[in-house]
Amino acid sequence: MEILLNFLETTGFYLIFGQPGNAIMILIGMIFIALAIIKDYEPLLLLPIGFGIIVGNIPFIASMQLSVYDDGSQGGGPMSVSVLSMIYFGVKYGLFPPLIFLGIGAMTDFSTMLSNPKLVLLGAAAQIGVFLTLLGALFLGFTPQQAGAIGIIGGADGPTAIFLSARLAPEFLGPIAIAAYSYMALVPVIQPPIMKLLTTREERLIRMKAPRKVSKREKIVFPIAAFLICTMIAPGALVLLGMLFFGNLMKESGVTERLAQTARTSMIDVVTILLGFAVGASTKAQYFLRAESLMIFGLGAASFAVATAGGVLFAKFMNLFLAEKINPLVGAAGVSAVPDSARVVQMVGQQEDPHNFLLMHAMAPNVAGVIGSAVAAGVLWSVLVVPAQPIPTPVGEPPQREQIEEQESSEPEAAHSGSPEGTTAFSLRRQPQDSRTRPDSSPEGAAQRIRTCFFRPFGASETVESRIPGTYASGYKLSPLRGWERTTSEVSPLEVHL
Amino acid sequence: MRYLTSGLENIVNGEGIGIAITGLSIVFVALALITLFIAALPQMLTRLENVLPPEIEHHAAPPAAPLDDEPLAVAVGFALHMKAKDQP
């Protein structure tokens, strides 16, 4: 009987009374699923996310490592790493977004953009949503890093939002991802009122010239050149844009059709499932239901609205100088959200004139928006990433152990506070791990680097080959502690290894 | 929970205006350069026409089988015949 009672205390039905937040999140998950199935709002995203939310909010006792956050970092050995955390690895470390971009690249046709290059600027104009939201988030008291991650919701690009927030504000990854994908699903609801508000009927009736035929050579050269242009300006966008344009090159080259086919079908489907499910499962009520999440949702909605307005207004601005007018509705497609915002443009355009086909024209700013949001993410990452601490150059003789111990005992708080200024525990003046090793500028040092850098294990300063016959495993020396000079001894490699 | 304190000084302290203007400018520059490149691309390719290899379709699909349009021709012929027959 006692066993049964103990078991009952571990059930979700029992635990959920103490954690009502989980019940709310489960309800939200069900709403997501209902929106996907009944309203057909982005079912490919909302269904996995919705079910993931339900999975991530089933209460369980703390000793059972089941959530995405049980990644072994709290100790407990390999068995403390949950399966969900392994799936979440791809979100947490930004693995899934580039793979999604590879698939997007393999399914994107840049022809309309190549045939009407001025529409690319609409993709840039819509990024104003990103930067105005950044200001809004700063105003509300978020740190610059968090504000940057929140602002990128305005890029209307889920993978980019996840990629950037994983780097700048991992503590808000769940709310940002959910907000980005939710608003992407709600593009048909958010955008039309803004588009109609900012345009006149005459403007919505503008018909645009049919796009010209683009040669195969243009399509092949474009991804390479555009990648070089963007990443030379914003190297932070290298991973996302690299995969996007690589996927597109696979498609357009014609020689890797099989790879392109896999990237745009099976691969992107698998990654979408894992990404959506893992993002949903990360919305554990204890982490998700807080005031900041509500602010993020509010800022995200504002971001989408501002981005849409920015694109439409910039199209109207361009019309002041253009002989061949642009239908300002296509500016709304500058928020990436491929291809939903382009579809919305087509829908709103056809409400005024059923014979006006804007879809192809809207695809140009739409794909330009993908590039623009990735560049914006790269810029924000470059500007807002916490700079690495410079490695101090050792001067004079290395301090003796006794001197260091004496110094540490005189300032115990700094020694154990874990602050960047102080030393961390468990080591003598040891700074947080830095994978960089101090370069030896001498010619011998350069040669040594070339010999060993490709073969040494991670974190090792150099490899040490064993010369005992029959033993083939190579040993390695750990990187020297900061502030200590590497000393060269005359001992043989065999002695070092032993 | 950490309570956020809102205020314009947050934007100033976080160099928000500078980040926003710089960021948006960089995005515009990047996409403007792409625009210029795309606009110049057809001319560039035309000039390099003699250097570049001819465009070929790799792994092109096999030629489609000739359309079996005999039933269609019969239907069209029948329709024309009926139309001609109806006319005085």
Backbone angles phi, psi at A461, to 5 degrees: -80, -35
**Percent of the residues in chain B that have a pLDDT greater than 90, as a whole number:** 31
Between helices A43-56 and A268-281, what is the axis angle to 10°?
40
Would you state the pLDDT for residue A349?
92
Bin A340: left if φ > 0, else alpha if -120 < ψ < 50, else beta: alpha
| A227 CA: distance to closest CA in chain B (Å) | 9
Each residue of A28-46: b (16+ CB within 10 Å) or e?
A: bbeebbebbeeeebbbebb
pLDDT in tens, chain A (498 residues): 788 888 888 888 888 888 888 999 999 999 999 989 998 887 888 899 999 999 999 988 877 778 888 877 777 666 778 889 999 999 888 899 999 999 999 999 999 899 999 999 999 999 999 999 999 999 998 999 999 999 998 887 888 999 999 889 988 888 898 888 888 878 888 899 999 999 999 999 999 988 888 889 999 999 999 999 999 999 989 999 999 999 999 999 989 999 999 999 999 999 999 999 999 999 888 888 888 888 999 998 888 899 999 999 999 999 999 988 999 999 999 887 888 889 999 999 999 888 888 999 999 999 999 999 999 999 999 888 766 555 555 444 555 555 555 555 555 444 444 344 444 434 344 444 444 445 555 555 555 554 444 444 444 555 444 444 444 444 444 455 554 444 444 444 444 443
What's the CA gap between A153 and A129, in Å, rounded? 9
How many beta carbons lie within 10 A of that of residue A416, not counting itself?
14
> A229 vs B4: CB contact, 8 Å cut-off?
no
State how far residue A163 is from chain B, nearest Cα, in angstroms. Answer: 18
User: Is B55 in the A-facing interface, judged by CB distances under 8 Å?
Assistant: yes
Q: Which chain A residue has its CA at the smallest distance from B33's CA?
A: A229
For A233-245, the pLDDT digits (tens) are 999 899 999 999 9
Integer CA distances (angstroms), A489 to A332, A453, A495, in order: 67, 20, 11
Measure CA of the first residue to CA of the last residue in chain B; give whole Å.
Answer: 93
Q: What is the C-alpha separation between A110 and A251, in angstroms, rounded? A: 11
Helices A43-56 & A20-34 angle (0-180, nearest 10): 160
Of A141, A371, A383, the CB nearest to B4: A141
B1 has a pLDDT exceeding 60? no
Its sign, for the CA torsion A283, A287, A293, A296, is: negative
CA distance B53 to chain A (A): 10
Is ipTM > 0.90 here?
no
User: Does A215 contact B45 at a Cβ distance shorter than 8 Å?
Assistant: yes
Q: State residue A186's pLDDT score.
A: 82
Residue A50 region by backbone torsions, left for phi larger than 0, else alpha for psi between -120 and 50, else beta: alpha
Residue-level pLDDT at A318:
93
Copy the structure tokens of residue A294: 């509500």
Among chain A residues, the shortest Cα distance to B34 is held by A226
H helices present in A16-157, as ranges: 20-34, 43-56, 83-92, 96-107, 111-115, 120-125, 128-140, 144-151
Interval B37-67: pLDDT, tens: 999 999 999 888 888 777 766 555 555 666 6
Give the chain B residue whose CA is nearest to the CA of A374. Answer: B27
Give the predicted TM-score (pTM) of the model. Answer: 0.73
DSSP A434-498: --------SHHHHHHHHHHTTTSPTTEEEEE---STT----EEEEPPPTTPPP------HHHHH-
B67 three-class SS: coil
Closest Cβ opposite residue A234 in set B16, B30, B59: B30
Give me the residue from A128, A254, A368 closest to B57, CB to CB. Answer: A254
Under DSSP, is residue A430 helix (H, G, I), strand (E, B) or coil? coil
By the CB < 8 Å criterion, does A148 face chain B? yes
DSSP character string of A278-294? HHHHT--HHHHSSHHHH
DSSP category for residue A10? T
Interchain contact B74–A (C-beta under 8 A) = no
pLDDT at A365: 92
Q: CA of B43, closest CA in chain A: separation in Å?
A: 11
Partner residue facing B59 (CB), from A118, A254, A379:
A254
Whether residue A372 and residue B27 make contact (CB cut-off 8 A), yes or no, is yes
Instruction: Pick the residue from chain B with its C-alpha nearest to A135.
Output: B16
Tell which residue, A308, A481, A324, A382, has the closest CA to residue A144.
Answer: A382
Interface of A with B in 292-331 (CB under 8 A): 292, 295
**Nearest Cβ partner for A134 among B20, B28, B45:** B20
| Residues of A in Cβ contact (< 8 Å) with B34 | 117, 120, 226, 229-230, 368, 371
Residue given tokens 């203007």 in the structure block = B21
Instruction: Please name the residues in contact with A49: beta carbons below 8 A apart, sequence gap of 6 or more.
Output: A29, A32, A178, A181, A276, A277, A279, A280
